[in-house]
Amino acid sequence: MMNILMVTNNFTPYTGGVVSSIRALVDELQRSGHSVMLVTLDFTGEHDDPSWVKRIYCPIRFMYKANHMAIPWRAKGQIAQIMDAYRPDIVHVHHPFLLGSIAYKLARSRKVPVIFTYHTIYEAYAHYIPLLPRFLAIAAIKRHVLSFCTQVDGIIAPSSYINDYVTQYITKPTVTIASGLLSQFMGATVIKKSQNEPIRLLVVSRMVKEKNIEAILHVAQKLLQNRVAFRLVLIGYGDQYAALQSYAYEALHVTQEQVLFVHKPSKDIIAKAYQEADLFLFSSQTDTQAIVLAEAMAQGTPVIALDGPGQRDIIKNGINGYIVESEDQMVDKIEQLVFNRGLLEQLSDGAYKTSQKYHPAKVAERCIQFYSSFFCF
C-alpha cells in the first residue's frame, strides 16, 4: 500500500469539478487501503477538516470575484515538515502554481516521484489575472505550465482533449484518466419521467463568464416563444449569479415558475435535482472535462450541450444526449424530446450506462497503476 501526498491550491470551501474529482479520488484510494494526505490553503481560518487534510497557514485572505483567495506564509517550510513526517511514496499535484510548484521542488530534492493532473487549459482563464493585459497573461501562463510539465515524472490528463494538447509539446509519460464521481452521485435508481408534466431542465454550474450561462437563458426564452411547457432550474454560485438572475427576470421577462435559480445547495440536493430532471443542459465551450455531465448521467439524465472539448469524450449523439452547435439547435433537440418521451427514456438508459466508466473505483485503480510505474515497492 502507498503513502500518497496530494497537493492542491483548490479545495473546500470551493466546490466544483476539480474539488469533487480530488475528493472522489481520495475517498476511493483510502477505501482501497492506501494512505492519503492532502495539503491545501487555509482560505477562511475555520474548517471542519478530517485528519488527512493539512492547511497551509495563510495570513492574508480576501474575496476576488466571489472566490476565496489566500496568500500563504512560509509555505515551503510547512510543506517540507509535512513531507518529512509523512514520507510519501508519491506526490500528486493538482496545480502547476503556488503549492504545486513548491511541492515539486521539495519532492525532487527527496527523490520522490511527482505526478501532475492537468485539469484544464489554464490560459483560457487568463481573465482572472488582474492588472496584466490578456495576451501577456496567456503567454506567461502557457510557458509556465508547459515548463512544469517537462519537470514532473508523469502527467494525468482527465480527457482526450487535454492528452492531445499536452502531447503536442511534452514527451513525459501521459495517461488519460477521467475524473471519478463522488459517492452521492453513484448508484442511483433511475426515475421514470412523467409523460404529462412540463419537461424539466437542469443546469449545475459556476455562474461565471466562461460558463456561458446566458446561452441557456436564451434557450429558455425561445422555448417560451415556441409555447413549450418547461421548468428550468439553475444551480450554482459565482460572481455573475445576481446579474444572471436580473437578466433572466428583468431583461428576458421569464418568471420564477419557469426559471428558478438555486444558490449553492448541498451535494445531496444536487444529486436529487439531477435525478428529477429530464434533461441536463450545458453551455460552456471552454471546459476540458465537465464532470457535471457524468454526474447528471449517473442519475439517468441525458445531456444536451453546446459543442466544446469537455463534451466530446462523454456525449454520444442519440445514445446519451446530443452535442449541438447553437442555441437554436438546443431548442430543437429539447422540443424533439418533449414530443418523443420514448426516445428520452432510451437516452436516460444510455446516460446511466455511460456514467459507470466514471465509477471512482475504476479511476483509483488506474491512478494506482500509473503511480506504480514510477517506483519499485
Pairwise CA distance, residues 148 & 162, whole Å: 15
Closest C-alpha among 70, 88, 67, 66 to residue 79: 88
What pLDDT score does 125 carry? 67
Q: Is the pLDDT of residue 188 over 80?
A: no
Residue 108: pLDDT over 70: yes
Cα three-residue angle 239-240-246, rounded to 5 degrees: 135
Residue whose grid cell is 424539466: 200
What is the arithmetic mean of pLDDT over 66-73?
86
What percentage of the chain has pLDDT greater than the value 70?
A: 94
The C-alpha atoms of residue 238 and residue 65 are separated, in whole angstroms, by 7
pLDDT in the model for residue 186: 83
Domains of the chain: 3-180+359-372 (3.40.50.2000), 184-356 (3.40.50.2000)
Which has the higher per-residue pLDDT, 14 or 95? 95
Average pLDDT over every residue of 65-89:
93
> 195 by DSSP, 3-state: which?
coil
Find the angle CA(259)-CA(264)-CA(270) to the nearest 5 degrees. Answer: 75
- Asked whether 236 and 264 are in contact (CB, 8 A), the reply is yes
- Band of the pLDDT at 190, cuts 50, 70, 90? low
Lowest mean pLDDT among 139-143, 162-166, 234-238, 306-310: 139-143
Q: Which three cell numbers stand for residue 213?
A: 450561462
195 pLDDT band (50/70/90 cuts)?
low
Pairing status of strand 114-117 against strand 154-157: parallel
Interacting residues of 110 by C-beta distance below 8 A, sequence separation 6+: 83, 84
Quickly state the pLDDT bin for 66 (edges 50, 70, 90). confident
Contacts 24+ apart (CB under 8 A), 139-142: none
Q: Which residues pair with 204 in a beta bridge?
A: 235
With bands split at pLDDT 50, 70 and 90, how would you rate the model's confidence at 189? low
Lowest mean pLDDT among 59-68, 112-121, 363-372: 59-68
Q: pLDDT tens, 124-156?
A: 766 666 666 776 777 888 899 999 999 999 999
The stretch 183-197 carries a mean pLDDT of 69
pLDDT at 377: 44
Question: According to the model, what pLDDT value does residue 197 have?
Answer: 83
At 2, phi and psi to the nearest 5? Answer: -105, 155
- The predicted pLDDT at position 246 comes to 97
Question: From the CA atom positions of the chain, what is the Rg in Å?
Answer: 21
Helices (runs of H) and strands (runs of E) counted in the chain = 12, 15
The per-residue pLDDT for range 210-250, each reduced to its tens digit, is 899 999 999 999 999 999 999 999 999 999 999 999 999 99
User: How many residues are recorded in the chain?
Assistant: 377
The residue type found at 221 is Q
Q: Please give the mean pLDDT across all residues of the chain.
A: 92
pLDDT at 126: 60
Please determine, for residue 86, whether its predicted confidence score (pLDDT) is greater than 60.
Answer: yes
Four-point Cα dihedral 330, 333, 339, 343, nearest 10? -140
What is the 3 state secondary structure string of 312-368? CCCCCECCCEEEECCHHHHHHHHHHHHCCHHHHHHHHHHHHHHHHHHCHHHHHHHHH
| Residues 269-305: tens digit of each pLDDT | 999 999 999 999 999 988 888 899 999 999 999 999 9
The answer to whether residue 50 scores a pLDDT higher than 90 is yes
Residue 139 neighbours by CB under 8 Å, 6+ apart: none
> What is the torsional sign of CA 106, 96, 99, 184?
negative
Give the pLDDT score at 296.
96
DSSP 61-118: EEEETTEEEEE-SSHHHHHHHHHHHH--SEEEES-SSTHHHHHHHHHHHTT--EEEE-
